[in-house]
Structures are given as C-alpha cells and as structure tokens.
Amino acid sequence: MGDMFEERLEAALGDRRALADLAARAEQQSKRWGCRKLVVAAAWADAHSEVDHLEGGVLVERLIKIGPVGTPPVAEFAPEGLIGPYGTSTASARSWMSDALTVRHRLPRLWERVQAGEIHAWQARKIANLTAHLSIAIVGMVDEQTAGWVTQLPWQTFLKNLDATMLEVDETSYREREKIIAAKREVRATQSEDGLRTLIARGEAGDVAMLLALDFPPFDGHLT
C-alpha cells in the first residue's frame, strides 16, 4: 500500500488536479481507518463481556461499566489488551472502548456512519462525550436530528447545532450541565515569598486558549 502511494505521489507531482485527488483519497482513508479503530474497539469490548467469576473477589477480574447509561459492562482489564495494538496507554485504550460503546449503544444513526467510514473517529468520539450526560430517550432524539449533519456543516457550526438541539429537546438537563461547567471554572491569584503573583485559571480548553491570547496590562494582584 505504501509503495502504491509513493508511485501515485510521484506521478502526481506538479499536477495540481492529481494532487488534489490524492489528498481527497488520503482524507477518505483517514476517516475509514479511524472509524475501523472504533469498530474494533467495540468488538474488543464484546470479546470481553464475560468474566470467569461473576461474584468477584480479591484479585478476581470484574465486569465494570466504562461508559454512560445504556452501555454494557466489560471486563475491567480488557483495555490493557489494546495498549500494544493501538500504541497507547491504558487510559486511552479504555477511552476508545468507552466511546465506541457509547456511539454504538446510544447513537445508532451516528454508529451507522462510523461503520460506513463516512466521518472522522474524533468527530464521533466528541459527540459521544458531549451527549454522555443525556438519558437514553433524549440522546436518541438528538442522534436522530443531528447525525446526518456531521459532514454537511463546518465542524464548529455543527457543534453549535448540536448544542441548540440538546437545549431544545431537554432544557432541564442542558441547564444542569451549564451549572456543572460553570462550577469547574475558576480564576484566582496567589502570592509567593518573593512578592511575585501567579494567576491560576481553570476552565474549558477553548476558554483558556482565549485567555492566553489576550494582551494583559501589568497585573496589580487584584481581580475585578
């Protein structure tokens, strides 16, 4: 496969149209292989859906929940088997499995698109995480209304559409989630022995990025 790509690339050099076609093929393959990783992660979870001793005990592997409501339990040490194949950590392997199960069991229309390799795995995983707090009934409604738009809209526009849909179908859960997110935001200042002050900010990644991009005047130690 690598040799074929090199041959196609060499043949396309200097030809903008051919290079654009090659780029489109690479993008499609990126989607397809990312989605296959999710499908394999779900299959891996299925292969570890039973343990030898359901009653548990000391040093005995248990079945545990790694995803939100509606996802099946898996053997607690199952993620370790994906560390090598995925070249990742236990936490990351667990996340792949959790996200795969979340999409498959809670977002069936989105899962169909994953199986078809029509979207990026990171898009499906992001949607899975953003909707993880919703009930089965509500997340099904959100899935029905938004799955078809993942590739039809610019990503940031889609996220706004997803957010608006969650507000529309379940305002109560939406407001509760807003309160939780707001509670996680924090800005405070500390003073060291040498008189210097440190500004500590905690929040969503986007909020922190915007904060870092600001051009602050000299800080006098007082927050207003």
Cα 209 to its chain centre, rounded Å, is 19
Q: What's the chain's Rg over C-alpha atoms?
A: 23
Domain membership of residue 65 (yes or no) is yes
- Domain co-membership, 42 together with 98: yes
216 HSE (CA, 13 A, CB side): 10
Q: Is residue 159 located within the same domain as residue 194?
A: no
Identify whether residues 105 and 208 lie together within a single domain: no
- Please give the structure tokens belonging to residue 86: 């995925």
Same domain, 107 and 204: no
What are the beta bridge partners of residue 63? 75
Range of the domain at 102: 2-183
The residue ranking higher by pLDDT, 165 or 28, is: 165
Q: What percent of the chain has pLDDT over 70?
A: 77
pLDDT tens digit sequence for 138-178 = 999 999 999 999 999 999 999 999 999 999 998 988 888 78
Q: Does one domain contain both 71 and 179? A: yes
pLDDT at 79 exceeding the cut of 60: yes
Domain co-membership, 36 together with 80: yes
- Is residue 15 situated within a structural domain? yes
- Considering the domain architecture, whether residues 18 and 29 belong to the same structural domain is answered as yes
C-alpha–C-alpha distance, residues 114 and 134, integer Å: 21
Q: Does one domain contain both 132 and 202?
A: no
- Phi, psi (degrees; rounded to nearest 5) at 75: -65, 135
Looking at the fold, whether 144 and 162 belong to one and the same domain comes out as yes
- State how far the Cα of 159 lies from the Cα of 166, in Å rounded to an integer: 11
Give the chain's domain count.
2
Instruction: Give the best-scoring range by mean pLDDT among 48-62, 101-115, 197-211.
Output: 101-115
Mean predicted confidence (pLDDT) in 25-29: 87
pLDDT of 190 > 80? The answer is no
Q: Which of 130, 185, 118 is nearest to 159 (CA)?
A: 130
The answer, yes or no, to whether residue 206 has pLDDT greater than 80, is: no
The answer as to whether 195 is a domain residue is yes
pLDDT at 184 over 80: no
pLDDT at residue 224, as a whole number:
46
Query: Is position 218 within any domain?
Result: no
Instruction: Report yes or no on 220 lying in a domain.
Output: no
Give the chain's mean pLDDT: 85
- Specify the higher pLDDT residue, 201 or 122: 122
pLDDT for residue 205: 61
Asked whether the predicted pLDDT for residue 187 surpasses 70, the reply is: no
Comparing 53 with 105, which gets the higher pLDDT? 105
- Between the two ends of the chain, the Cα-to-Cα distance in Å is 59
- Report residue 35's pLDDT band, with 50, 70 and 90 as the boundaries: very high
Statement to judge: residues 150 and 205 lie in one domain: no
The H-assigned helical ranges of the chain are 2-12, 16-46, 83-86, 90-106, 108-115, 121-130, 136-146, 155-169, 171-184, 205-213
Residue 27 lies in a domain: yes
pLDDT in tens, 41-74: 999 999 999 887 666 666 678 899 999 999 999 9
**Bigger pLDDT: 57 or 115?**
115
Per-residue pLDDT at 13 exceeds 60: yes
Q: Phi/psi zone of residue 195: left (φ > 0), alpha (ψ -120 to 50 degrees), beta?
A: left
Kindly state whether residues 209 and 174 are assigned to the same domain: no
Residue 18 has pLDDT above 70, yes or no: yes
